[in-house]
């Protein structure tokens, strides 16, 4: 059954489904059930695992991403993770093995394509790993040359996050840090550095977002929107080694679909 809501039709009429995306009216054919072949079942299995893993990435980094991602973000991230899993798949053993760079295609991924991160922060942070410590280093910023401010913002909260996902034990955790830059012309910030303790055998995703603050009568508020929310993945890597089970058992249990791991 379809209904007219405003200028658009929503619902099903016969074999056609009416949907909306923004101001657009979209018509789609109703999905039909087909008998799946071995190849389609295999493709569905990989797709399910990639969607589940991408959801875990989004969940652990939700404080950095916020709710102001663009409408294509989930699909774009799912696609990148799917390609990463295909790269890691061993069709003979039917397992997945993840070298360090398995998810490197996520480096620089924008959570809002309408406001690319590198178009708002012009001095990129550096990410290094040494002896199970990940360091994110941000050079001194000259305002407004190195950091773009929208109208009305009195400061920018630079939020960094580091998430760790262990596929073997199905656990995940994340840690965060922040730094506030005032919107004052001809000022230079001090260099910043954040350190996060890592755990071997995990997927490590680091991300950063620029959250702009405005003063109103009720206090300060974030003014990022669905069309302006610079946030991106800085680095994605797989850490070598085996995790300390006594440590990661204290992490929240993730909801990933099980991924059969190779040696």
Helix (H, G, I), strand (E, B) or coil at 54: helix
**Which range, of 41-50, 106-115, 158-167, averages the lowest pLDDT?**
41-50
| Helix 38-60, helix 73-88: angle, nearest 10 | 120
Mean pLDDT of 197-225: 93
What's the pLDDT score for residue 42? 54
Mean pLDDT of 119-147: 96
Mean pLDDT, all residues of the chain: 90
**Which range, of 36-50, 165-179, 234-248, averages the lowest pLDDT?**
36-50
pLDDT surpasses 80 at 201? yes
Mean pLDDT of 82-87: 95
pLDDT classification of 79: cutoffs 50, 70, 90: very high
Alpha-helical segments (H) within the chain = 38-60, 62-65, 73-88, 245-248
For 16-58, what is each residue's pLDDT tens digit?
777 776 667 677 766 665 454 454 445 568 999 999 999 999 9
pLDDT surpasses 80 at 191? yes
Please give the share of the chain, as a percent, with pLDDT higher than 70: 90
- With contact defined as beta carbons under 8 Å apart, do 162 and 195 qualify? no
CA neighbor of 8 nearest in space, from 16, 262, 17, 19:
19
């Amino acid at each position: 059954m379809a209904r007219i809501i405003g200028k658009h039709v929503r619902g099903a009429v016969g074999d056609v489904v009416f949907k909306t995306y923004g101001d657009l009216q979209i018509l789609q054919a109703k999905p039909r059930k087909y008998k799946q072949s071995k190849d389609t079942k295999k493709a569905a299995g990989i797709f399910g695992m990639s969607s589940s893993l991408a959801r875990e990435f989004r969940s652990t980094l939700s404080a950095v991403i916020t709710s102001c991602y663009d409408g294509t973000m989930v699909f774009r991230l799912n696609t990148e993770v799917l390609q990463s899993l295909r790269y890691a798949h061993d069709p003979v053993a039917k397992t997945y093995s993840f070298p360090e760079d398995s998810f490197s295609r996520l480096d620089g991924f924008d959570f809002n394509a309408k406001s690319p991160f590198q178009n708002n922060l012009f001095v990129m942070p550096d990410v290094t790993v040494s002896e199970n410590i990940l360091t994110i280093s941000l050079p001194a910023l000259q305002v407004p040359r190195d950091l773009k401010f929208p109208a009305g913002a009195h400061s920018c909260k630079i939020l960094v996050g580091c998430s760790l996902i262990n596929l073997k034990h199905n656990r995940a955790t994340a840690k965060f840090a922040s730094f506030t830059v005032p919107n004052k012309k001809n000022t230079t910030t001090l260099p910043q550095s954040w350190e996060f303790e890592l755990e071997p055998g995990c997927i490590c995703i680091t991300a950063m977002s620029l959250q702009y603050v405005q003063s109103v009568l009720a206090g300060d508020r974030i003014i990022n929107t669905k069309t302006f929310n610079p946030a991106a993945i800085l680095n994605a890597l797989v850490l070598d080694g085996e995790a300390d089970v006594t440590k990661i058992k204290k992490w929240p249990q993730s909801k990933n679909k099980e991924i059969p791991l190779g040696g």
